[in-house]
Amino acid sequence: MITVAVANQKGGVGKTTTAINIATALAATGWKVLLIDLDPQGNASTGIGISAGERERSSYDLLIEQASVASCMIPTRIPGLDLIPATVDLSGAEVELVSVADRTSKLRAALAEDAGHEICLIDCPPSLGLLTLNAMTAANSLLVPLQCEFFALEGLSQLLQTVERVQERFNPDLGILGIVLTMYDRRNRLTDQVADDVRSCLHGLVFESVIPRNVRLSEAPSHGLPALIYDHACAGSQAYMKLARELIGRLPERRKAA
């Protein structure tokens, strides 16, 4: 299984929106997709239409109880897309993991048993704590949503340092799938300047596709729907479709699920 961690330690940069919509686009293209909500806030779970009452088992059970993927996942209303939701328990997992010997490889161990999906996307919390380290240790690649604002590059270099540490200590196979510029506003000169800086520092790592600031993307979660389904034609959805095509081109060879 290909495992992609969607990470950036900054909050509000578009991780969850990207995870939900890329997961949906991949499922729509026929992939068997598993989306794991690894943020105690549970935004990916809510955004995909799984209410708190429906979350019987969660990513907490996967990490702490070593429950199986099959027993924690819930099918979503999008064919081909299963979700492992997050509950508030997960905020305690970070503390509970501290005293565990293999604390960074819990998620990797749980995912190793799964044969039902071709790709797994992990929506990370806004920190570089043990939850994100678990995602990076489990993943083959990292997808980084980046908002074009003043401190974006500082945050990015801290993130890339963490990636190096994870590569050295826990997961030499971790690669960077790409950086996607989010909430892009063409009328803002600072946006353009940051985008130019990021592209000149990181060359090919930055996806050509850019996600514009688009109100439909921010409305969709309150309807419990991915924007791609809530309003397929809006500029935000079109941008995510384009990103998905570009991203598929960068993925390792697809392996059919059982």
- Minimum distance, C-beta of residue 227 to ligand ADP, in the bound complex (Å): 9
Stretch that binds ligand ADP, among 69-77, 100-108, 136-144, 213-221 (CB under 6 A): 213-221
Q: Verify binding: residue 211, ligand ADP, rule CB under 6 A.
A: yes
Q: How far is the CB of 86 from ligand ADP (least distance, A)?
A: 12
Question: For ligand ADP, which residue of 182, 191, 209, 237 counts as binding (CB under 6 A)?
Answer: 182
Asked if 126 touches ligand ADP (CB under 6 A), the answer is: yes
55 is a site residue for ligand ADP (CB under 6 A): no
Between 1 and 6, name the residue whose CB sits nearer to ligand ADP.
6
Nearer Cβ to ligand ADP, position 178 or 221? 221
Q: Does 183 bind ligand ADP (CB under 6 A)?
A: yes
**126 or 212: CB nearest Mg ion:** 126
Contacts for 106 with CB less than 8 Å, ≥ 6 apart: 62, 63, 64, 66, 97, 100, 134
Alpha-carbon distance of 234 to 4, in angstroms, equals 26
Please enumerate in sequence order all residues whose Cβ is within 8 A of that of 232, keeping only pairs 6 or more positions apart, or say none.
none
CB closer to ligand ADP, 106 vs 213: 213
Residue closer to Mg ion (CB basis): 61 or 123: 123
Partner whose footprint covers residue 80, from Mg ion, ligand ADP, none (CB < 5 to 8 Å by kind): none
Binding flag, residue 85, ligand ADP (CB under 6 A): no
Residue selected from 5, 7, 15, 166 as contacting ligand ADP according to rule CB under 6 A: 15
Give the shortest CB-116-to-ligand ADP separation in angstroms: 26
Q: Are 185 and 235 in contact (CB under 8 A)?
A: no
Contact between 221 and ligand ADP by CB under 6 A: the answer reads yes
Q: Are 73 and 82 in contact (CB under 8 A)?
A: yes
Question: Which residue, 21 or 43, is less far from Mg ion as judged by CB?
Answer: 43
Residues found near Mg ion in the complex (CB under 5 A): 15-16, 39, 43
Positions touching ligand ADP (CB under 6 A) are 11-17, 43, 126, 182-183, 211, 213-214, 217-218, 221, 236
